[in-house]
Every structure is written in structure tokens, then in C-alpha cells.
């Protein structure tokens, strides 16, 4: 039995109540195109179980999630013709998460000259 929340947009996507463009799907996880992409190929990757925060997810599932996210990122980068990628987790509103009640990973393909500046060296 999956953990779900009727008010969660990602749970509604998993249930097929909200349309999405799937990039990857297996029995545990789903990757979809972001509806407001910040780069070409921007993808959102998440468990089909509902977790508000990463610490709510059992560690074994969290490990599988991260391992699969890296695999899917490689696929997304190739399909987007990108040179690299960032994996980004925003947990809760203070971290600028636009989707409450669902732990998820953004796969952000990076293209030379995309002008997206998230270089951690600039935040000392």
C-alpha cells in the first residue's frame, strides 16, 4: 500500500489525476518534465510514496532514490544534449520548495552558457 496524500500534486500525478510528461517510471519512482523548467530537460524525480521530507523516507528507499536519480540524470543529460547536470533538493518553503508535502529531486541539465549560476564557490 502506497503512502499518499490527496492534497499533494505529486500524489495526484502518480494516481493519474493530473497529466504529466513522464521521463522515467518504475514500480517505485517517477521522473517527469518540470512544468516550469529552468533549463532544457529540467526533470523532477520522486518516490511514488508520499514523504514530506527526506528524513521521513526509510534510508533504504532513499538510497535507491538517489542511485536511480543519478542513472536518470545521465539519460536526461544525453537526451537534452547537455554537458553536465545538477541534482537539487529543496526541502520545505524556506528552501524555496514550490511543492509542499513531497520530497523530490530536481535533475537540472547544464548547457555551456545557460547563465544559471548556482556555483557554490560564490556563496562563501
Assigned domain for 70 exists: yes
Contact (Cβ atoms closer than 8 angstroms) between residue 54 and residue 97: no
User: What domain count does the chain have?
Assistant: 1
Q: Name beta bridge partners: 13.
A: none
Cell of 65: 532514490
Closest CA to 69 of 12, 81, 54: 54
Q: Which domain holds residue 92?
A: 9-112
Assigned domain for 45 exists: yes
Assigned domain for 3 exists: no
In the prediction, which pLDDT does 54 show?
87
Assigned domain for 108 exists: yes
Assigned domain for 89 exists: yes
Instruction: List active site positions.
Output: 104
Average pLDDT, the chain: 87
Cell of 58: 526509510
- pTM here? 0.86
pLDDT, tens digit, for every residue of 85-109?
999 987 766 556 666 667 899 999 9
In this predicted structure, the answer to whether residue 123 has a pLDDT above a threshold of 60 is no
Q: Name beta bridge partners: 22.
A: 32
Could you tell me the CATH number of the domain that includes residue 46? 3.30.428.10
pLDDT, tens digit, for every residue of 49-81?
998 888 889 999 999 999 999 999 999 999 999
Amino acid at each position: 500500500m502506497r503512502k499518499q496524500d490527496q492534497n499533494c500534486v505529486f500524489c495526484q500525478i502518480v494516481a493519474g489525476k493530473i497529466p504529466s510528461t513522464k521521463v522515467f517510471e518504475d514500480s517505485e519512482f517517477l521522473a517527469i518534465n518540470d512544468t516550469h523548467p529552468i533549463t532544457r530537460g529540467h526533470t523532477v524525480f520522486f518516490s511514488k510514496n508520499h514523504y514530506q521530507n527526506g528524513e521521513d523516507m526509510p534510508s533504504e528507499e532513499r538510497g535507491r532514490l538517489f542511485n536511480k536519480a543519478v542513472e536518470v540524470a545521465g539519460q536526461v543529460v544525453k537526451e537534452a544534449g547537455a554537458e553536465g547536470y545538477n541534482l537539487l533538493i529543496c526541502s520545505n518553503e524556506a528552501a524555496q520548495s514550490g511543492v509542499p508535502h513531497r520530497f523530490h529531486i530536481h535533475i537540472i541539465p547544464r548547457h555551456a552558457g545557460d547563465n544559471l549560476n548556482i556555483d557554490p564557490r560564490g556563496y562563501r
